[in-house]
Amino acid sequence: MSEKASFRSNGGVRGWLGRQPVWVRWLVILVAAVAAYMLPYIGDVPVIGPQIVTEGIDWPSALFNMSYYVLLALGLNVVVGYAGLLDLGYVGFFAVGAYGTALLTSPDSILYEDTGWKWLMAVPAALILTMIAGVILGWPTLRLRGDYLAIVTLGFAEIIRIVATSTDVLRGDRGFASIPHPPGSWGGEPIFGVTDAIPYFWLGLTVIILVILGVRNLDRSRVGRSWLAIREDEEAAEVMGVRTFKYKLWAFAIGAFIGGLGGVLFAGEQSFINSQTFVLQFSILVLAGVVMGGSGNMAGAILGGVLISYIPDRLRGLSVGDTDLYEYRFALFGAVIIIIMVLRPQGLIPSRRRAMELKDREKEVAPQ
């Protein structure tokens, strides 16, 4: 067997890393984390840098966009990839996190005179509100399965959008302005200002690392094993004593919490939100990113979240003749998804279990 074939048969990069001593694994993780924090300066790298950075949008701002898309992909991966629940309304949790922050901190809010909180004070309250929304949605609906559950979650997202558009409390298209930025100063100047998005990206990246550690521990615990059993065969899991409703509700609440984190960061960076931000298309895009990257695998979800944000931003300012490619971003992105799904139906970085399942199915349908 060739060295390349042996490398593939042993699990590729993940398999190689898993066979290394603990100190080697931590060293690789540390180097990867440092490289991620240095991404805002990749444009200074000769030859490669200018090909990567975006032109129509500030590169640090594009990186921050990627950070909250990655958070959303990680949260939806818990619901769809780990627990096997099809959620088409995930943008609703993103909206609840953002609106929760705005209601507690924006001078435009009817609650401002009673609260007038700073961004950091509003974060726990907004996240608790988002988790409650996840439980409220999940409690009556998680006894449904498949397409029926998908339709209910779709309705949840539309209810959030209609309420945000129609009610005076959430101010519709007028939205909420002057939402405070995250706290902190350096040399008398605020760290999180309006001219430099690098601190926002670093904050988002730090939150992503904490979420990865938390979800990884959950995946390797009894909760993760219960999610796996539910995803594979819910009826068999229930017969074997798994409290399926409880763990599905956990998945919804944890996914909502992570989605709310993305909304809180988004509101703190943008300082303005309105009802046009939280459209259904957003949910479909994040779901496409999870499936494209590799459902059930955190690395795949991260890659999918990066791609669904980076590809449209990279097309800004690019043109072929008189044609602005950004106008056709969804058509081009759809073509990319189709190509990936044809060539890699398991996703770009699939979970090992998912990859093995697809191999077994190929053997079953192969002509004898």
Residue 217 lies in a domain: yes
Q: Which residue has the tokens 């209910």?
A: 152
Residue 252: give its domain's CATH number. 1.10.3470
* Residues spanned by the domain of 150: 59-361
Number of domains in the chain: 1
Residue 1 lies in a domain: no
d(CA 102, CA 123): 10
pLDDT averaged over 10-residue windows placed end to end, the chain, 368 residues:
47 65 84 93 89 89 95 94 89 93 91 81 93 88 81 89 88 90 86 90 96 92 90 86 89 93 94 88 89 89 92 83 80 85 85 63 56
Residue 195 lies in a domain: yes
Lookup: tokens for 235: 């009826």
d(CA 354, CA 232): 11
Q: Is 332 helix (H, G, I), strand (E, B) or coil?
A: helix
d(CA 81, CA 60): 29
CA dihedral of 25, 26, 27, 32, whole degrees rounded to 10? 90
Residue 44 lies in a domain: no
Residue 42 lies in a domain: no
Lookup: tokens for 363: 């053997």
d(CA 174, CA 254): 31
Residue 312 lies in a domain: yes
Nearby residues of 105 by Cβ (< 8 Å), 6 or more positions away: 112, 115, 116, 117, 118, 119, 122, 179, 180
Residue 331 lies in a domain: yes
In the prediction, which pLDDT does 31 show? 92
Neighbours of 249 (CB within 10 A): 18
Which secondary-structure segment (H or E) carries 320? Answer: strand 319-320
In the prediction, which pLDDT does 350 show? 81
d(CA 283, CA 157): 9
d(CA 367, CA 122): 60
In the prediction, which pLDDT does 59 show? 93
Phi, psi (rounded to 5 degrees) for 30: -65, -45
- Alpha-carbon distance values, 276 to 134, 165, 282 (Å): 22, 8, 11
Flag whether the pTM goes above 0.75: yes
Contact, 290 vs 81, CB < 8 A?
A: yes
Residue 201 lies in a domain: yes
